[in-house]
Structure 1
Amino acid sequence: MSQLIHHLRQHLPENQVITDELRLLAYGTDASFYRLIPEVITIVETENDLKTVLTAARQNQRPVTFRAAGTSLSGQAISDGVLALIGEGFATCEISADAGKVTVGPGMVGGEVNRRLAPHGRKIGPDPASIGAARIGGIAANNASGMCCGTAQNSYRTLAGMRVMLADGTVLDTEDARSRDAFSLSHAVLLGELERLGRNTRDNTRLAERIRHKFKIKNTTGYSLNALVDYEDPFDILAHLMIGSEGTLGFISRITYQTVVEDPYKASALVFFPDIRTACEAVIRLKPQPVAAVELLDRPALHSVENKPVLPAIMRALGEDAAALLIEVRAASADLLQEKIAAVHGAMDGIATVEPMAFSTDPATCDMYWKVRKGTFPSVGAMRRTGTTVLIEDVAFPIESLADATLDLQALLRHHGYHEAIIFGHALEGNLHFVFTQDFGDPAEVDRYARFMDDVCQLVVGKYDGSLKAEHGTGRNMAPFVEMEWGKDATDLMRRIKALFDPENLLNPGVILNDNPHAHLENLKPMPAAEDIVDRCIECGFCEPLCPSHRLTLSPRQRIVSVRELSRRAAAGEPAGSIGEDYAYMGLDTCAGCGLCSTACPVGIDTGDLTRRLRGRRLGDSARAVNAWTGRNFGTLATVSRLGLSAGHAVAAVVGDRLLGRLSGGAWKSPMPHAGKAPAARTGSGDPVVYFPTCGGRIFGPSNAGDAQLGDVIVELLRRAGYAPILPAGFDSLCCGQMLASKGMTEEAEGMSRTLEAALMAASENGRYPVIMDASTCSARMQQHLAGRLKLYDFHEFAVDALLPRLMIRKQAGPVALHVNCSVRKNGADAKLRTLLRACADEIVEPASVTCCGFAGDRGFVVPELNQHALRKIHNELPAACACGVSTNRTCEIGLSAETGINYQSIAYLLEKCSRPLENPC
């Protein structure tokens, strides 16, 4: 064990010091095309933790890199020394009384900050495409911008104050007078030098004008030298130098933003032009107009998405020189929105378009337009050859040069053989992204990339004096070219700033400034073929905030990174080693398989499919035999399971739930459901409807003794609404197969689905009657299995469409907690669930911190820590007076009840209670 690791383990909790090979690889990978393996990873939850890390690193002369979400694209979030992962202790958010400011920790996801600001009609200024996953620490440290942010609302321009820790462990809070006074005494030399550098820079007219000129357009190449010309107070200079410094000058432990207005009224137009030049002429006219965003797409970008459903047919008929602008306007009122639309039409008068420009205020239409723009990058990523990397570069030009620069860039891409490349970007800022695929496993291909990048730099800087990095950060990718863009005087100034803040060069060395001219060609990340269902992964990390096992074990991105390494080792004849051993638990056992990752993934990958495939391969003959027997004898299994529950309750009555929970490794819950039973078939008049009670509700009865069984509740509701429920023949021995599918037993699970299908077909007279099921996971599986053959409803969907119109509802008093099951989220059926709940309750609490509950069928019994981790934040969001909790999946409800102490049940229970006839009151 190294002295560094020994020091860290002496001063940090054991679970915050990571040295195992699997997590060093998986946690150490970011979204860039570079790879370094850390010597050690530390999870820092407090400033004291970070000070410990900096002290240990300084004593052992090891570099430190701060890491937030790792969505950065230029290699600035990796390290071969100490990687300090920002923990949840830094996920803080405080909104001022008037919502004009928000003070946030670096661990907060940007999208979550905006969600909290939304009720106030405000948001933070930066709006990167990664805002749903990127954390504030990275957003500020990279000065990220986005489609609507421009240069006026980025972190630099909306900064109100910050708390920062320097390399020597000193903390400065620029919003605290006492902290500033103390810092003035302890770091008088630093402040004095910053003041002198600022004064000298402002006095150097040529340099000062150069700096101002460079920041008229988006620019994240090098340090924020504009701090030296924009501010005179050394505290202001220091704070603004931290923005965009990529963790090379210090650690931002808290930042206060001036918030910006989030206008409620929006309209979008997707406008097609005969050629790029005409589109760019339109951009110049739109620049002074009241537009929120103008996105440029070249013809190859449009080609990449034109065959997707619901997109305009005209896209497929455009000429090869065509281009498009996606224009958005926003306003505080409908009338003002129309005024802005009229202004845009006036500005565009005389500009040739393929068809007349038309704005839409329909949210679905606008969403479809933005899917055109947002779908371009992932489309190229999804189509790339296995083993190659998808790269997205990021430059900016003066807007008056945008047309020529775009045409030159297209020509350059063709010249170097990147024929699949596309160009799109934030046109109002002259900011272009170009996406292409690259094979870094072939030296000749690496050489081609090197020549191409040299030519790009000559084009951007030499011909147009643009920015080599507009919003993605300098990182390792552009560090060798900083002096080429800025010149020697400005770059020497950056070197003095780095030496002033970090004299030992321990904070993220090699990032922003790098004297190695080939640094951008070294430490390239391998992307070997692994599994066809995940080979398209671009390792962006967008999936991570939705994953219930993220930071417990692995996230979807980290699972794919690990599987790629295992595949590489297998292909090379190397042993899997500890990575293979540890992956069994971290990669497979603790994956919920919920598939929520696919809803955020730019290329739609469901990492749960990977997990199920690998679980199936891992099964031995005996396990396969047991599972196969289960599929053939499910009725017997259900009976045995009920007997087991009854026996468990008998034991718990003697030793107590708590002790039994410990003895069972957490499998026994408190409260544990009582044994369920199948609903009794009841004849009656009414409209026929087939109801299949799923096995979860048949095996696991209510948690409270004396409560009705789920099946009986739904039968009563159907009868109350004038339906005659039909139960499929032999339903108590039937199952949809989800339980086997989750274990990787695909064929056996399909056999169970086919058996259930036959029973449903017979009961419904081949689809003559509607069919409903009472567990969302099972409903989703059978909806997919039966697609095109039989219409099947999840209970809450049928309840909204068919029960509410026939029932008299009296709303529940007190707040009701809602958990939206992951299958409901994936199917887009959550709107109907909320509609049903709003009909039954005046006050609804839906904890934003919970995505998948992590119970995942049997995972909550087998690895209860997954359920506990997934729900670790729910307690802070549920009011003490919560009347009850509702969901749509029995096992989810078990886990939610156990973790919160609130009785979660199917929403059918609440609907039944709220619709009881007056003569039978609650």
Structure 2
Amino acid sequence: MSLPIPFLAEAERLIPRERRFDDPLSTLAFGTDASFYRLIPKLVVRVESEEEVIGLLKAAHAHQVPVTFRAAGTSLSGQAISDSVLIVLGDNWNGREIRADGQQIRLQPGVIGAQANAWLAPFGRKIGPDPASINACKIGGIVANNASGMCCGTAQNSYQTLAGIRLVLADGTVLDTEDPASVAAFQQSHGALLERLAELGRETRANTELAAKIRHKYRLKNTTGLALNALVDYDQPLDILSHLMVGSEGILGFISAVTYNTVPDHPHKASALIVFPTVESCCQAVPVLKRQPVSAVELLDRRALRSVENMQGMPEWVKHLSAGACALLVESRAATRSLLHEQLAQINAAIAEFPVEKQVDFSEDPAVYNQLWRIRKDTFPAVGAVRQTGTTVIIEDVTFPVEQLAEGVNRLLALFDRHGYDEAIIFGHALEGNLHFVFTQGFDSPEQVQRYSAFMDEVAQLVAVEYGGSLKAEHGTGRNMAPFVELEWGQDAYRLMWQIKELLDPAGILNPDVQLSRDPRIHLKHLKPLPAADQLVDRCIECGFCEPVCPSRGLTLSPRQRIVIWRDIQARKRAGLDTAQLERDYQYQGIDTCAATGLCAQRCPVNINTGDLVRKLRAGAASHQGSADWLAGHFATALKGARLTLLAADGARRLLGAPLLGKASRWLHQRAGLPLWTPAMPQAAKPLQISPPIADERPRVVYLAACVSRAMGPAAGDAELVSLLDKTRALLEKAGYQVVFPDNLDNLCCGQPFASKGYPAQADAKRQELIDALLKASRGGLDPIYCDTSPCTLRLLQDGLDPRLQLHDPVKFIRTQLLDKLDFEPQEQPVAVHVTCSTQHLGEAQGLIDIVRRCTTQVVIPEGIHCCGFAGDKGFTTPELNGHALRSLKDAVQHCTEGVSTSRTCEIGLSSHSGIDYHGLVYLVDRVTRPRARPLG
């Protein structure tokens, strides 16, 4: 059925066209979350204000239109999808207010959890919830799902740390529990609702059997169904309503702000890995550890350990553990090092009598404890990486009473064997009896669906009935466990949940069939296909962890959505369906606007670089092989042509003036697709004057000047008019180096321009040509090599570099070779830092920031900008990508005097969209340093 015309008319009145999506590509792209369900919305609306939400809810209420709210879409149980109207948070939901030196923080629902903790870090505080998806999930989803994690347990989740909430009910009414005027107005307008909530609370507390069951259930980690503990923990109806919203998964209202009581973020920590010979001995240690000063205790069964034993960096001994081994990863945190050591001694004494097969003692060394936590964190992606194409990875989330944990683990293992889930693994938050089990499942035949159905029926009986546990500990009920809520809770509690739902959403428009459903088979419907698309991306589990770092997210598609659409295109082609229109739309949405910088791979649990797929698709469509061959063979001529083009552009600027040229350039770009000129456009660089090396006592450094550095000088209006080449050479000589250059420099290129355009053969040939020249210039690797542009450095290092070559990007060279040769006199003017994608890939992000901190007393790192989107030449050819990626930059750096980076092309876009000049790092370092005096004698 289509949406009612009056509702659509109201949506058009409320929401601009560019934030309403009903085309097949967009609705398909938003039809997935991190679960194994798919629903294609009829309309996707990106909202930017509470007023828009209110208007949409009033219209939906009036016309009986179901709506679903979506924050990051990392939900694992199908909470964030809809076949009706999907309301997605836009950019303007990132507000925060830090109170009482970080004791409280008020957040809007679009804030990413990790960002909230970054704001609180200077105060030594953090929010309580710590879900594994905290780098991607948003506060709205964290609260709506009562997400928890490894450390927060039941004491520090959103329910327990809630201090206030602002919400919009299904009828469009707003309530802010921290605003007396709002409370008074709500009591006036919705007094009957509040009285009914108070009455339900009194009835529940009077029902001693039901109240006891609720208290028992929330002694455990539990997100199955609505938060009925609100009815026994509180007697004031506003408190009841506030806490019912936590974990309500969007079925009771929209959360537009939340205030947390924060928790300490202790700076000192240590971790240990203790392997027990049996599941029983492992689980018997858990209640003992629960009484100790531990912050996390993670359980890993032998299958989980086996899934990661062959990964790079894993300890060799993991391969040789016994078949029944079971491990605990234990962490302790403290405010001081001495207190931490006391805690570690106490913990070790408490478990000293337990039999141990293998143990990595407590370590405070980040290299050691990060390796231990990697074992735990890599278990889930390890299963995903080896799954058969076309199957999905399912991660379930149950809680057993901790005293029955060993029985629960063994019973689950028996269920895996009975149903043939040989790859299944178990890990989890042992302190709470919370187990995650991961398995792969196909849904491409009735037999496979029936197998899954039978398995889940047995899991539900085992966990909820036999052991009185919870079927969802922290992932939310969603569609996945909606049919089992009554089984777990019983008729009285289930009826009570429906009463609450009907009280707050009488029309039933909010996220139907999520958490509460009348359909006993809803968990077996709308199952998501994961058809083969390309081996580069077939391992994608559509979790969405990649999305926060993607520069095109919100402009066109995110990496997850690119994969979703490409999968669908390939499946349609195999079915003989026409994909012409979808492919035409995908060309711009999926291919043309992908920066292909690969930051998505850093966030992906299975290391998928969606940019690799895009480059492959570009290569398949590349039709100018002859031109690419000519450019590769005549690169110096092409470089000269680039300089002439920049000279012509600058001549036009002088003749027409910058405003008129900018206007003409925009017109030509829009109508003819010509590259866009901006005032940040560089002037042509003067050809480099190279002197032959001389024999003296100075150490030599080979200076690899990137082709962009050789072609592009400063912009006409730049405060720094010395070229990057001259500035870099001056800094290196100041530090005492003799600077030498490779022969035939103007004909050399790392191959990046060819690779990004889909010409890998030419790219590889130019890369090898450059490597050969660097070997010669560095005297077979004797001399270090300084590359002035981080993307070129990364390109050379990828796929392996001749081990004789000592290649450095600007950050690494300054950090390792110059700091002891220069004295720094930091300036007071604030400097903005942009960490390029390549610098992040090279592992030099912190190194860049640390160097800038030596140069200035005020360092500004703009929030939320991970990639500038310039992507080589996209800033010229697809400038909307650059503009979208940097849309928040100007406000973030408005009080800075300049910015620094390590890529000349990135600096063009950064300068254009910030209102300040961005330069290479060497400009700042050169300005604030002088040669260090050498001791006499």
Q: TM range, normalised to the smaller chain?
A: over 0.9
Opposite residue 811 of structure 1, the aligned amino acid is P
Deviations 1:272-305 (A, max 9, x none): 1111111101101111111100000000000011
In structure 2, the partner of 1:670 is 679
SS in 1 for 2:18: helix
In structure 2, the partner of 1:301 is 304
Q: Which runs of 5+ in 2 are unaligned?
A: 670-675
213, 216, 220: which one aligns with 2:216: 213
Matched, 1:818 2:833: yes
1:874 Cα shift?
Answer: 1.9
Q: Would you say the 8 A contact 2:794–2:841 is kept in 1?
A: no
Opposite residue 643 of structure 1, the aligned amino acid is L
Q: Distance in 2 between matches of 1:483 and 1:778?
A: 59
In structure 2, the partner of 1:636 is 637
1:768 Cα shift?
Answer: 2.1
1:848 Cα shift?
Answer: 2.6
Opposite residue 252 of structure 2, the aligned amino acid is L
Match runs of 1:688-699 below 5 Å: 688-699=700-711
Q: Distance in 2 between matches of 1:508 and 1:808?
A: 62
| TM-score normalized by the length of structure 1 | 0.97
In structure 1, the partner of 2:672 is none
Relative to structure 2, which stretch is displaced further, 56-65 or 317-326?
Answer: 56-65
In structure 2, the partner of 1:292 is 295
In structure 1, the partner of 2:462 is 459
Q: Would you say the 8 A contact 2:822–2:932 is kept in 1?
A: no
In structure 2, the partner of 1:376 is 379
In structure 1, the partner of 2:569 is 566
Q: Distance in 1 between matches of 2:570 and 2:343?
A: 55
Q: Would you say the 8 A contact 2:822–2:931 is kept in 1?
A: no
> Number of paired residues?
916
Deviations 1:40-73 (A, max 9, x none): 0001111111122113323332210000000000
Q: Distance in 2 between matches of 1:9 and 1:779?
A: 49
Matched, 1:125 2:128: yes
1:853 Cα shift?
Answer: 0.9
1:704 Cα shift?
Answer: 4.3
Opposite residue 26 of structure 1, the aligned amino acid is A
In structure 1, the partner of 2:753 is 739
In structure 2, the partner of 1:679 is 688
5, 8, 13: which one aligns with 1:5: 8
Match runs of 1:476-495 below 5 Å: 476-495=479-498
1:108 Cα shift?
Answer: 0.6
Q: Would you say the 8 A contact 1:102–1:259 is kept in 2?
A: yes
Relative to structure 2, which stretch is displaced further, 680-689 or 41-50?
Answer: 680-689
1:754 Cα shift?
Answer: 1.4
Q: Distance in 2 between matches of 1:899 and 1:325?
A: 50
Q: Would you say the 8 A contact 1:122–1:259 is kept in 2?
A: yes
Opposite residue 806 of structure 2, the aligned amino acid is K
Q: Would you say the 8 A contact 2:46–2:87 is kept in 1?
A: yes
Opposite residue 699 of structure 1, the aligned amino acid is A
Opposite residue 692 of structure 1, the aligned amino acid is L
Q: Distance in 1 between matches of 2:312 and 2:678?
A: 46
808, 827, 835: which one aligns with 2:842: 827
1:657 Cα shift?
Answer: 2.4
In structure 1, the partner of 2:917 is 903
Opposite residue 807 of structure 1, the aligned amino acid is L
Q: Distance in 2 between matches of 1:161 and 1:504?
A: 27
Matched, 1:87 2:90: yes
1:335 Cα shift?
Answer: 1.1
Matched, 1:188 2:191: yes
1:377 Cα shift?
Answer: 0.1
Matched, 1:509 2:509: no
Match runs of 1:279-358 below 5 Å: 279-356=282-359, 358=361
In structure 2, the partner of 1:847 is 862
Q: Distance in 2 between matches of 1:853 and 1:166?
A: 38
SS in 1 for 2:715: coil
80, 102, 114: which one aligns with 1:77: 80
352, 367, 370: which one aligns with 1:367: 370
Q: Would you say the 8 A contact 1:679–1:709 is kept in 2?
A: no
Opposite residue 367 of structure 1, the aligned amino acid is N
Q: Distance in 1 between matches of 2:932 and 2:142?
A: 56
SS in 2 for 1:400: helix
Opposite residue 60 of structure 1, the aligned amino acid is H
In structure 2, the partner of 1:757 is 771
Relative to structure 2, which stretch is displaced further, 645-654 or 413-422?
Answer: 645-654
Q: Distance in 2 between matches of 1:506 and 1:327?
A: 44
Opposite residue 861 of structure 1, the aligned amino acid is F
In structure 2, the partner of 1:146 is 149
SS in 1 for 2:102: coil
Q: Would you say the 8 A contact 1:657–1:671 is kept in 2?
A: no
SS in 1 for 2:256: strand
Opposite residue 929 of structure 2, the aligned amino acid is S
1:912 Cα shift?
Answer: 2.0
Q: Which runs of 5+ in 1 are unaligned?
A: none
In structure 2, the partner of 1:791 is 806
| TM-score normalized by the length of structure 2 | 0.96
Opposite residue 670 of structure 1, the aligned amino acid is P
Relative to structure 2, which stretch is displaced further, 780-789 or 558-567?
Answer: 780-789
Deviations 1:455-511 (A, max 9, x none): 101110221111011100000000001100001111001111111011111000001
Deviations 1:516-563 (A, max 9, x none): 111101000000000111111111111111111111111111111111
Q: Would you say the 8 A contact 2:702–2:785 is kept in 1?
A: yes
1:917 Cα shift?
Answer: 6.3
SS in 2 for 1:514: coil
CA 1:241 to 1:593, structure 2 compared with 1: closer, same or farther past 3 Å? same
Q: Would you say the 8 A contact 1:133–1:545 is kept in 2?
A: yes
274, 279, 284: which one aligns with 1:271: 274
Q: Would you say the 8 A contact 1:62–1:506 is kept in 2?
A: yes
Q: Would you say the 8 A contact 2:748–2:770 is kept in 1?
A: yes
SS in 2 for 1:495: helix
Q: Distance in 2 between matches of 1:787 and 1:872?
A: 40
11, 36, 39: which one aligns with 1:36: 39
Relative to structure 2, which stretch is displaced further, 61-70 or 825-834?
Answer: 825-834
SS in 2 for 1:800: helix
Q: Distance in 1 between matches of 2:555 and 2:314?
A: 40
Opposite residue 633 of structure 1, the aligned amino acid is H
Opposite residue 139 of structure 2, the aligned amino acid is I
Q: Would you say the 8 A contact 1:849–1:874 is kept in 2?
A: no
Matched, 1:724 2:738: yes
Opposite residue 80 of structure 2, the aligned amino acid is A
Matched, 1:431 2:434: yes
Relative to structure 2, which stretch is displaced further, 310-319 or 773-782?
Answer: 310-319
Q: Would you say the 8 A contact 1:774–1:794 is kept in 2?
A: yes
In structure 1, the partner of 2:646 is 645
1:582 Cα shift?
Answer: 1.2
SS in 2 for 1:674: strand
1:865 Cα shift?
Answer: 1.1
Relative to structure 2, which stretch is displaced further, 231-240 or 800-809?
Answer: 800-809
703, 706, 710: which one aligns with 2:715: 703
Opposite residue 263 of structure 2, the aligned amino acid is V
In structure 1, the partner of 2:181 is 178
Q: Distance in 1 between matches of 2:213 and 2:659?
A: 69
Q: Would you say the 8 A contact 1:22–1:578 is kept in 2?
A: no
1:766 Cα shift?
Answer: 2.1
SS in 2 for 1:735: coil
SS in 1 for 2:184: helix
Q: Distance in 1 between matches of 2:61 and 2:433?
A: 42
Q: Distance in 1 between matches of 2:360 and 2:702?
A: 50
Matched, 1:101 2:104: yes
Q: Distance in 2 between matches of 1:883 and 1:24?
A: 43
Q: Distance in 2 between matches of 1:577 and 1:96?
A: 54
846, 870, 880: which one aligns with 1:865: 880
